[in-house]
Chain A
């Protein structure tokens, strides 16, 4: 048997350099809990503990604790920092209220996506969380393209945990009273055992949940306290990938890259209304034209017939067998018990319900464009709360 002809995306794949891997602050903690460590984004990270399927379903029903300390945590200070960030990000940063966060993207001058990220206004500065595999490149982009009046700090000593699932709020509120009051995409400073925690109600699983920024020296005590709660189990990268795929959320380096724009990627919600009119962000000419005229290709979610997973790299064909797109993520959906996928297709074929053919290793599969996330989002939105 040949292991991993087509491996889990990014996990131990050929694109990973196994030399000089960095260790997470929780490295020993993961190993002690049976975490199977694999190279990912330049770190050794746990792909699973008891098994991807069980961990996935646990998160959908209870609460899962994810170590996402490989991600980059950046601070931006300076006069008119919101205005400066708006030159690189298409979101409305001027209108972002204190303690609120927004999903956004770092764009290249031609409108391609350099990274996707979360941006929070925190008093007089901004706090950004960027992907682990891309953080060094992002830092260089920010340094080169922001005005000298903006100072950027990379919080290298800061760890990041995500607690996700329908029981995340009860479990975290028991430890950090008051966090249950946060609404989706809101954040604040809390304290636990005298230690500062920056907590946002956000995540990347489609579930209600939180992301917790904590000093690296405090993260082990916090992870112990969280998993002492019987509702909480540690969850690896494998389930993180299947959860985000079911939630229809794109993964950078697979579903998003420099050749895709926010409009192609079906992320136009992240382009502020004012900004669509005013422009003035990297790639805005192209992106505004795509908003008006439609992009050539568009990201879609696909339900695949049968049982065999169709993975990244498979082709999308039209009724006549012409190549009209490609699969960028795909796999087995533990919640639905069937294969699902994500990919790009020619825009006329991106309508929900469109029947498409996929080709993987010479074998054909039938698929249909899905209208919504495969598993509905269960974010904690409050009535009347600003998004």
Chain B
């Protein structure tokens, strides 16, 4: 299993051809108290960079992009029911959606965990 990040603060955990996507700890900290999340439905086809989900905190509304292309297998209903889960466990239970990767070569353009954590320090 490998973990990747984007400069838009999404993370992608890859297991075989299934990718789980969420937002980073840095992103949830910047957003503050999250009060709403909307996740994509199973069966939706996403291209890389598509608006895939919505996350709203008390102070701001943001779009979550799909870091890679694929077909949505599952949206995380747990965060739709309890959006604060994203604040509590952003890189674990607070995941947004899983998709079946359309093109694994897209992963090569993403950052690995160490590179992302270093880069976030510079922001």
Contacts and interface: CB of A to CB of B under 8 A. Distances in A.
A6 B61 contact: yes
Interface residues of B, number: 25
Given A3-B30, A51-B32, A53-B33, A331 B58 contact: yes
A14 interface: no
In the complex, which of the residues B8, B60, B64 has the most CB atoms of chain A within 10 Å of its own CB atom? B60
A190 interface: no
Nearest to A47: B59
Interface stretch (A98-106, A211-219, A306-314): A306-314
Nearest to B84: A53
Nearest to B96: A1
A64 B54 CA distance: 32
Interface residues of A, number: 24
B27 A238 contact: no
Interface in B1-24: 8-10, 23
Given A1-B64, A2-B62, A309 B56 contact: yes
B36 interface: yes
A332 interface: yes
Nearest to B30: A3
Interface string A44-73: 000110011110000000000000000000
Given A308-B36, A309-B35, A332-B36, A5 B60 contact: yes
Given A308-B56, A309-B56, A5 B62 contact: yes
Contacts of B62: 1-5
Contacts of A52: 32-33, 57-59
In the A-B complex, the 8 residue pairs with the smallest Cβ-Cβ separation, listed nearest first, are A8-B59, A53-B33, A332-B35, A4-B60, A52-B58, A6-B61, A308-B36, A7-B60
Interface of A: 1-8, 11, 47-48, 51-54, 238, 242, 307-309, 311, 331-332, 334
Given A48-B32, A53-B32, A334-B58, 4 more contacts: A4-B60, A4-B62, A52-B33, A309-B61
